[in-house]
Structure 1
Amino acid sequence: MAQYEQVYHALMNNNDVKQMLSSIDADDKNTLDEQITIAQIPAPPFSEDERADYIKKCLEELGLLEVKKDEEGNVYGRRKGTGNGPTLFVSAHIDSVFSKDTDTTVSEKDGIYYGPGITDDARGLAALLTLVRAFQQSAIETTGDIIFGGTVGEEGPGDLRGVKAFFKDNRDIDGFISIDAVSPTEIIYNGTGSFRYIVTYKGPGGHSFGAFGTPSAVHAAARATVKLADLEPSTDPKTTFNVGVFEGGTIPTAIAEEAKLAIDLRSNGEPELDSIEQTMFRFLQEAADEENRKWAFSSDEGVGYTIEQIGNRPVGSQSSSTEIVETAWYATEALALAPSLAAPASTDSNYPMSIGVPSITLGAGGQAGGAHTLLEWYRPEKGYLGPQRVLLTILGLVGTAGSSPTLRKRT
């Protein structure tokens, strides 16, 4: 613990750091304006180009080096250190959950800003740009390199495709910070994993009266759903299931030829997630077998099914005593805030954690609610605390002339 105390004693007495903290405070209104601008640029998963190009332009104008847009659509640039330090990737996600035709106009009432995506993750991207601006306007030299950027595909169907692609293309990253949500005190250091599937049952079909006794795809899907509904998964670590979509058939007088289920499995534990997946596979097969057996049909002649995995977010697990978590903790305390370890969540940090890269998710400041709804809102109360804490965490991790890096190089 003495190491971290020494690091933050040195940082909080560094005039360059004091100037950077003050500049973030002074930049608070500009950060909010940037947030509104970003929120009003549509960026649904797989259609993030317009917003990504805007972020890329901003990074170029702020003077980062090696600014690029990769094949997946991520945008990022580098601020070089003095050498021999760790390389840290700091990002916010570019995409939102809302479709291209959603009205993303931001409105204000009584100091609260309303608009789809105003917080998730427009606030994170605005905080990121504020951080880059603070670094570029400062004379401070870091030991390690910092890569600032935006990732695509964090939300839902995106399946973390951006952050997965980034880490496959950049093997030299020693640590990762995702800027997401708003809390300036919580530290998300573990990730909830999830598997998502589309299951399609198909059968011969027929007239509901004339072909009665023919296996039904809807009935088979219903059997599978009931089996899942009766399941009692682990509570520690928390493990869940959900059949979120059930659709099939055409009219009441036809035995259904097809039925589809959309299934979501989640857990904070990797063995538990794998276990409930295997249980689901067994239930799906049993449901088809039972429907065929009831009407004395073989599996070739009766109902069958296919499984398509549409989501695979790995469980992220690391100790609360890892350097990146401890550094964020002391950075929070340096601002006279009370840090807390948050419950696991599903963020961009899941993937790098799963491959052994120390990772955390930190909030971008302010207050927010209504995420993933048309009534999403943001209140810019002490919003500057979010980027200030991320700044201090970054400086602690990569090191400066007056303090050694707390983040170790992995290679």
Structure 2
Amino acid sequence: MKSAFFCCFLLFTFPSFLHAQESVAVEKRYTDEIKSLANRSVVKAVFQHFADWEPQTKQDLIALTETPAPPFKETAKAKKYAAMLKEAGADSVWIDEIGNVIAKRKGRSSRKTVVVEAHLDTVFPEGTDVKVRQKGDTLYAPGVGDDTRGLVAILTVLKGLEKAKIETDADVWFVGAVGEEGLGDLRGVKHLFKTHGSKINSYIAVDGDGISEIVHRGLGSYRYRITFKGSGGHSYGAFGIVNPHSALGKAIYYFTGEADKFTRQGVKTTYSVSVIGGGTSVNAIPYESWMEIDMRSESPERLKGIDQLLQTAVQRALKEENSLKRSGPDLTVDVKKIGDRPSGKTEPTVPLVQRAMAVSTFLGAVPKLDVSSTNANTPISLGVPAITIGSGGVGGNVHALNEWWLNDKGVLGLQNALLVLLAEAGIAK
């Protein structure tokens, strides 16, 4: 999710955020609703449980952080998390075909389903040391904040509902999703909506720290791996055959020139030729040359526009390089989309967004509406009310080996998730 997180030792709010905050007033009916909800004795009881459980919540965070969940290999963490959700009292817990952990807590009417979710995966490859180190009150470990803290937050909310015997009106699904990071391409949530989308009425992702940021706009992205292929050969003996590197260079030149002009106006749209490779030796004409490109925008139209510039540049480069051929076969090009994160917006007047803002205000923070790439992108793009909220505390160095999280009023993050969830799911009467 992508950002204020790319820099070391920056406090993080949500991974991959490109902050573009929106200022919107909270309607009085929602502030009144949250005040009334928070003053109920059963809710106050859960707040107290959260405070009493701080030592156990810390141990849960350490245990889950030390269970590896590298990209596409989240199984061990999924099994551990499923066991924890079952022990917490969910009515049913299962791991679906793609690896998502889903815990269902039945509501009285079951006329509505609210999902509260955090992601299982981290960006760190298999074999990374994920042992938690503590210095003072600060925990250090890869993935401790992004997003293991989110997993623990929704687990603790489930525990609180069970302990206080709060029955919601709606069904609530507590989800640990796979594939949020990098080339995971939101595959967990995409699968969730492919198989259960018609049942889901609202979606609350918990990712990042603090309680101020509320993501209601999905930052979409297209990612490509583009490979020019040729026969390759000796740099002297095969001279005259077409060179994939030359085609790649032309493609980059034509694309970035047009993309620069395109992105200087309108809704913020970005592009990056991020990785390039190919070739075998200084005295060999390469048989392939490839690049990976990332393009982002919260506007679907702008994203499609810059995508078209890329496709045009690639074909132009291919044609021009082949026209230089003196011998041998033509170059070919393989354009493979390796990432497609949808964009969209949950309007700030939608009850879910208003409730999240009212909760943040009630807990003493200043709500900030933002855009980012998170698991909420998928439901947002499908028209399902969805947001991403923080899990409390403060942290930094996200996506780095020295990632850290500090329990600075972290209990507020648990209260935040609980109140937003209860406002959306309703307490059965």
TM-score class, shorter: over 0.9
Partner deviation per Cα, 1:48-83 (whole Å, 9 max, x = no partner)? 110000111011111211211111111111222221
Q: How far apart are residue 301 of structure 1 and its match?
A: 2.4
Q: Is the 8 A contact 1:42 1:99 kept in 2?
A: no
State the TM-score, normalized to the length of structure 2.
0.90
Distance 2:130 2:404 in 1: 12
Q: How far apart are residue 330 of structure 1 and its match?
A: 0.8
Q: Is the 8 A contact 2:31 2:355 kept in 1?
A: no
Distance 2:103 2:278 in 1: 48
SS in 2 for 1:101: coil
Is 1:327 matched with 2:355?
yes
Match of 1:191 in 2: 218
Equivalent runs, 1:38-77 vs 2, <5 Å = 38-77=64-103
State the TM-score, normalized to the length of structure 1.
0.93
Q: 1:265 aligns with which of 292, 295, 299?
A: 295
Partner deviation per Cα, 1:273-325 (whole Å, 9 max, x = no partner)? 1111111011111111111223367xx92211011111111113221111110
Q: How many residues align?
A: 399
RMSD: 1.6
SS in 2 for 1:81: coil
Match of 1:287 in 2: 317
Give the gaps of 5 or more residues in structure 2: 1-26
Match of 1:178 in 2: 205
Distance 1:140 1:221 in 2: 60
Pair 236,31 (structure 1): closer, same or farther in 2 beyond 3 Å: farther
Distance 2:389 2:51 in 1: 18
SS in 2 for 1:141: coil
Q: Is the 8 A contact 2:276 2:289 kept in 1?
A: yes
Distance 2:346 2:241 in 1: 52
Q: 2:185 aligns with which of 142, 147, 159?
A: 159
Q: How far apart are residue 5 of structure 1 and its match?
A: 3.2
Distance 1:364 1:125 in 2: 9
Match of 2:22 in 1: none
Q: Is the 8 A contact 1:85 1:398 kept in 2?
A: no
Match of 1:207 in 2: 234
Instruction: State the AA in 2 paired with 1:17.
Output: V
Equivalent runs, 1:14-163 vs 2, <5 Å = 14-83=40-109, 85-163=111-189
SS in 2 for 1:341: strand
Distance 1:205 1:305 in 2: 14
Give the gaps of 5 or more residues in structure 1: 403-411
Partner deviation per Cα, 1:233-267 (whole Å, 9 max, x = no partner)? 43542211111111111111111111111111111
Q: Which has the larger displacement, 25-34 or 178-187?
A: 25-34
Q: 1:311 aligns with which of 339, 349, 353?
A: 339
Is 1:379 matched with 2:406?
yes
Match of 1:348 in 2: 375
Match of 1:409 in 2: none
Match of 1:337 in 2: 365
Partner deviation per Cα, 1:337-387 (whole Å, 9 max, x = no partner)? 221112x11110000111111000011111111111111111111111111
Distance 1:77 1:132 in 2: 10
Q: How far apart are residue 210 of structure 1 and its match?
A: 2.7
Instruction: State the AA in 1 paired with 2:368.
Output: S
Instruction: State the AA in 1 paired with 2:384.
Output: V
Match of 2:307 in 1: 277
Q: How far apart are residue 84 of structure 1 and its match?
A: 5.5
Instruction: State the AA in 1 paired with 2:342.
Output: P
SS in 1 for 2:134: strand
Distance 1:331 1:79 in 2: 23
Q: Which has the larger displacement, 379-388 or 138-147?
A: 138-147
Q: Which has the larger displacement, 312-321 or 265-274?
A: 312-321
Moved over 4 A (4+): none
Distance 2:55 2:168 in 1: 27
SS in 2 for 1:190: strand
Match of 1:218 in 2: 245
Instruction: State the AA in 2 paired with 1:278.
Output: Q
Distance 2:427 2:313 in 1: 56
SS in 1 for 2:310: helix
SS in 1 for 2:317: helix
Q: Is the 8 A contact 2:161 2:167 kept in 1?
A: no
Instruction: State the AA in 2 paired with 1:103.
Output: D
Q: Which has the larger displacement, 78-87 or 236-245?
A: 78-87
Q: 1:5 aligns with which of 20, 23, 31?
A: 31
Q: How far apart are residue 227 of structure 1 and its match?
A: 2.2
Match of 1:244 in 2: 274
Instruction: State the AA in 2 paired with 1:209.
Output: Y
Distance 1:401 1:57 in 2: 27
